[in-house]
Amino acid sequence: MLNIQRIALREIRLPLKEPFRISSGVLSERRICLLELTDADGTTGWSECVAFEQPMYSAETIDTAWLAIREWLAPRVIGHAFEHPSAVFAALSRNICGHNMAKAAVEMGCWEVGARQRKLPLSRMLGGTRDRVPTGISIGIQATPAALAERAKAAYDQGYGKIKVKIQPGADVAFVAAVRETLGSKVHLMADANSAYTLADADHLAKLDAFGLIMIEQPLGRDDLVRHAALQRRLSTPICLDESITGVDQAEDMIALGSGRIVNIKPGRVGGFASSKAIHDVCERAGIPVWCGGMLESGIGRAHNVALASLPNFSLPGDLSPSARYWEQDIVTPEWTMDVDGMVQVPLDGPGIGVTVDLDRVDGLTVRREVIGSAKMATV
């Protein structure tokens, strides 16, 4: 029985090793909201809200998520008994529109607590079947095609199983061409546009068909399944939808309309694990492969993603890069690594997320803290 009594929110500020640029903006420092949930039996679990500082990826930000958790979502779980963590998503969704990233942070933390109570690795609690998962790398927009090709070559030499390059108008066809020429035809290569194009760019985007990409991710608007369907008919390259898929209904609509042939599942974007699993199952039945995207998470968020990516239909490498890809020092031990085959180990030796939160480091990085629940509410 799950009976959360206390949720501690923390904001930490974790500087990136280098700025990360996508079509909608640049990140140099990651403001991260961490949640520490404590059950009535004293079991504690951790989760992470993946919302950015600015509404550049979705309407949510770290500050709107903090408000939503404090005012509306935490009260839905604190002091309420649940037979299983899978019931939490429905409780958080009832009469509360949107705020998927805030919901996911609470819901995924409940799954972690539930896994610890049952003495199960989180991956097995979710129904995962693998002990390691393939990882890819996401490379931000670079100044020149040559610079991008150099970055891609270095990533390939490190063993990454998939190379994703960010693109935008003016930094697309020539950039992808340079990477493909450098890496050769057999390397798994994809482009991610983060909704930077319109259907008027269809002829231009069709030029990317020449490079044998495994997918083009989210070329058009986040809410536009109809135009994505029209573009997919124009392209031989599979379209992968990311921002457009915010729940199982959108995944079913994508399949019905033919808006894409692959889905990127980010648990934060879709409201947590229950929704992710539902999307995974719908796609599996339809023969649509899925993979797990990343949101520049700390090691806590990475742990949740790795657990999810162990489910059977996650058949493409995810954005599950090692800690050292983004951070000088992560906030968990051991830090996330990959082996020489470009694989990340799924923790199976203990309960929950399988890594230990470095409390001293988290304390040192914390700039804001609030406790909600049985302990007296406090803000630091």
**pLDDT, tens only, 230-264:** 999 999 999 999 999 999 999 999 999 999 999 99
Please confirm, yes or no, whether 162 is among the known catalytic residues: no
Instruction: Summarize pLDDT for 33-90 with one digit per residue, the tens.
Output: 999 999 999 999 999 999 999 998 999 999 999 999 999 999 999 999 999 999 999 9
Return the pLDDT at 23.
64
Distance separating alpha carbons of residues 323 and 325, to the nearest angstrom: 5
Q: What is the pTM of this model?
A: 0.94
- The 3-state DSSP class for residue 43 equals coil
Distance separating alpha carbons of residues 331 and 360, to the nearest angstrom: 9
Residue that has been written with the tokens 């729940």 in this structure? 247
Kind of pairing between the strands at 290-292 and 262-265: parallel
Token pair belonging to 195: 């909704």
Please confirm, yes or no, whether 277 is among the known catalytic residues: no
User: Which stretches in the chain have pLDDT values below 50?
Assistant: 375-380
Residue 35 main-chain phi, psi, to 5 deg: -120, 130
* Bridge partners, 318 (sequence order): 135
Q: Which of 103, 162, 166, 277 is catalytic?
A: 166
Instruction: Give the relative orientation of helices 145-158 and 173-183 as an angle to the nearest 10 degrees.
Output: 40
Token pair belonging to 342: 């470009």
